[in-house]
């Protein structure tokens, strides 16, 4: 989570919004500081956002006002739990967008268990939850050929968007990966 460089979190949302004609129902994996959710809520076409956040403390920070909250918007529902469980609980073809901003991406995991989020089996479950024309966007702190391949195998194609960022005075890049149903 970073409150100084938020462009890639906002691109995660705008890439999904731009790819879907009617993004009424969206699921976001990872609440973080709320930048992705806030960008989604700025679009009047978004009717509901389900947020999966594994860390109860992150949700509580927003509820306590320690960070600007997105939780007071009636369109937002937070599920405290593993994003895999939250995704699997969604009915097939029920989501217009599924946005994953979990961990640091597949190559720099904080929780080794999250490696499954970036593999074909879980990505296929994500695709099953997407309505026709729905989109999956995935944030990563680094380029990942394996993630690009897994999305391409699951969705038929994968768009990769590098996002230039400045981190501690250095030019770096984050990445947004996208597949559409």
% the chain with pLDDT above 90: 72
- CA dihedral sign of residues 51, 125, 120, 80: positive
Q: What's the mean pLDDT in 18-25?
A: 94
**pLDDT for position 2:** 46
Burial of 143 (0-12, 13-18, 19+ CB in 10 A): middle
C-alpha distances (whole Å) from 74 to each of 43, 77, 78, 89 are 14, 8, 11, 21
> What are 131's two structure tokens?
């309505």
pLDDT at residue 4 in the model: 55
Query: Could you tell me whether strands 159-167 and 130-140 are parallel, antiparallel, or unpaired per DSSP bridges?
Result: unpaired
Class in CATH terms, 7-180: alpha beta
Q: For 122-163, what is each residue's pLDDT tens digit?
A: 999 999 999 999 999 999 989 999 999 999 999 999 999 998
Average pLDDT over residues 10-17: 88
- What share of the chain has pLDDT > 70, as a percent? 96
78 forms beta bridges with 51
pTM of the entire structure? 0.93
């Amino acid at each position: 989570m970073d409150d100084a460089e938020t462009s890639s979190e906002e691109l995660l949302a705008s890439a999904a919004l731009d790819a879907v004609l009617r993004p009424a129902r969206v699921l976001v994996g990872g609440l973080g500081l709320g930048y992705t959710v806030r960008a989604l809520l700025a679009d009047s076409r978004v009717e509901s956002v389900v947020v999966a956040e594994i860390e109860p403390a992150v949700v509580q920070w927003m509820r306590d006002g320690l960070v600007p909250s997105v939780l007071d918007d009636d369109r937002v529902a937070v599920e405290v739990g593993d994003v895999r469980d939250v995704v699997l609980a969604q009915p097939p073809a029920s989501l217009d967008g599924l946005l994953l901003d979990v961990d640091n991406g597949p190559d720099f995991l904080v929780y080794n268990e999250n490696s499954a989020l970036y593999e074909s089996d879980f990505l296929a479950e994500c695709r099953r939850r997407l309505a026709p024309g729905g989109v999956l966007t995935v944030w990563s702190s680094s380029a990942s050929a394996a993630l690009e391949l897994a999305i391409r195998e699951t969705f038929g194609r994968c768009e990769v968007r590098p996002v230039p960022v400045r981190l501690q005075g250095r030019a770096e890049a984050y990445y947004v990966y996208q597949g559409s149903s």
